[in-house]
Chains A and B, each alone.
Chain A
């Protein structure tokens, strides 16, 4: 996938666990794991907004474009 989700980096920066983040943004830990492991095919704006709010960051801090041959 060309879009990489750098959720684990931001979670480490904010010293926040997966369970706590999942609870704060209102999704299941399983879905957060899908997102964290770059298995997701799409992210809702509402989820992105909740993530940015919980982690106090910008969407660009969470998402990164990497061309396919480099990923």
Chain B
């Protein structure tokens, strides 16, 4: 329950902080950090324009996409407190629940009959496919290290190992961070601020969405950031009492947002054709973690 509230709170400012960082670094004043939330709220009140080509799939897809993100949010724990839903193998459920949302957002993009959106859908499907192995191997290694198979138990037991587990945590944080960027279509995979439909990935898929539906998609995006942020936080907080962990949670979330903003300010997007290789390379980092775990457990010799 605690994690649910914290993630919700973090979602309010996370994207705003990124935007603010970017604006400061580029010498602009920039919008306030709650501007993304205000945008969403405004969209919720608006009417909508639908394409004549689309069917009801296009209309229910944002609902299912948003629900899948909320479902994933329910599974994420916070330190010693469980997520609202917690069971053995819940991280598998986490990934597959998000996949339902992805499935619908991809077919909704194809539903518009636009070649731009088809292009975006194709890329999204490919990238998410390549990102998933990294996540599963990462969680597999952590499960191997702790001997547990649920998010809550893995994270609760994780810190109990030697100091080397913190080294592993840093690597894991890197992998999770990169997955965050892929899942949220950010640099270096995708540039949310690009103006050309041809070079977009996620943005182009939602070109035809408007009104309440667009609001749902955007708010799902806000939530996704803080969900992955919460996962990263969980790698470090372990058994610390709440009076330390809750400020730590916000500190790490803001730090993550600032880092993302900084990266986006100084880096250009990768070439589209290099993205897939880059994403798949994450799996090898995950494998590195796996071998690290093997060393800790002394299985190598």
A binds B: no
Q: Which residues of A pack against B, CB within 8 Å?
A: none
